[in-house]
A and B are shown apart, each in its own frame.
Chain A
Amino acid sequence: QSALTQPASVSGSPGQSITISCTGTSSDVGTYNLVSWYQHHPGKAPKLMIYEASKRPSGVSNRFSGARSGNTASLTISGLQAEDEADYYCCSYAGSNTWVFGGGTKLTVL
């Protein structure tokens, strides 16, 4: 059970769109739609942003969207805002009631 692969960092200017990828295997992302994304501001509790690959919890801005294709999931943030600057983690079900997270991506809003 290896960690999902995410880019270490991405950046964008206010108003732009960015996409963070999350690559797994046929044992996790490639088989199960149970992919979720979390926003983490250091020192705070992680916040669920996307579940079941593309669904948004109530209260999460529609600027956040998710997708999944093959062994890769992605999180897109449109209309970047300064408050979006944070670490983002993907998570996937890996079978047999186990879960695997990605290594995290630091988003910098320029």
Chain B
Amino acid sequence: QLRLQESGPGLVKPSETLSLSCTVSGGSISSSSYYWGWVRQPPGKGLEWIAYIYYSGNTYYNPSLKSRVTISVDTSKNQFSLTLTSVTAADTAVYYCASYWTPSGAFDVWGQGTMVTVSS
């Protein structure tokens, strides 16, 4: 059974870069049936799709974040990563990694989430 686990610092200073990783277990990140994505939830607000990536490296971004976001995949480690540059307090959120299963057209497995606070 597929499992996803986020990792990364819980505190980032304003104007710096947020970096998170997601480790995939129970399946291969090179599966042709999946994309691998990030979703965030600011405190008291709804979910926001950030980006997703195919194992071959094709990337897709939320237009509102595209200028600051990079998503990448490391098939040798069965991991994918997110970087968000020039962060502000508005980027404070719980960040989830999730698998997008193409046959379902939905995000079928999610990590537990990791809280990232932007503060000096």
Contacts and interface: CB of A to CB of B under 8 A. Distances in A.
B48 interface: yes
Interface residues of A, number: 28
Interface residues of B, number: 24
B47 interface: yes
A36 interface: yes
Given A36-B105, A46-B110, A57-B104, A3 B46 contact: yes
A65 to B, nearest CB: 16
11 contacts: A1-B62, A36-B104, A46-B96, A46-B110, A51-B106, A91-B49, A93-B105, A101-B39, A102-B46, A104-B45, A104-B47
Top-8 shortest CB links A-B? A51-B106, A36-B106, A97-B60, A103-B46, A101-B47, A34-B105, A45-B110, A99-B49
Interface of A: 1, 3, 6, 33-34, 36, 38, 44-48, 51-52, 55, 57, 89, 91, 93, 96-104
